[in-house]
Amino acid sequence: MKKRNPNLFSFGKVFCSIFGHQLRVSKNVTEHIHEYECAKCGMEMTDTANGFLARLTPKFKETNDYLAKIHRRRKRKTFAQAS
């Protein structure tokens, strides 16, 4: 992922401030929680516990990584019992 300098002028940021973000899924944490990235300005967002979108802060990123770890472990355990 590219490092972006917040002090530089960006047409993508201007576009997003006028027309809104064009979010695409950048990571599937679980079936219900995803991480998104704006195709124009690169802003990262995630789903919250309430179902709203919020900026992807380091705290949210850490929480999503932990949830993904738990989800993988449970999924692996479920598939092992099914076979």
pLDDT of residue 81: 74
Residue position matching structure tokens 């002028």: 9
pLDDT of residue 5: 60
Least confident of 5-14, 37-46, 56-65, 67-76: 5-14
**Domain limits of the chain?**
21-78
Residue 78 and residue 41: Cα distance in Å, rounded?
Answer: 39
What is the pTM assigned to this prediction? Answer: 0.76
In this predicted structure, the answer to whether residue 51 has a pLDDT above a threshold of 80 is yes
Residues near 29 by Cβ (< 8 Å), separated by ≥ 6?
Answer: 35, 46, 64, 67, 68, 71
Residue 56 CA, chain-centre distance (Å), reads 6
Cβ of 7: how many Cβ atoms within 10 Å?
5
Question: Percentage of residues in the chain with pLDDT exceeding 70?
Answer: 88
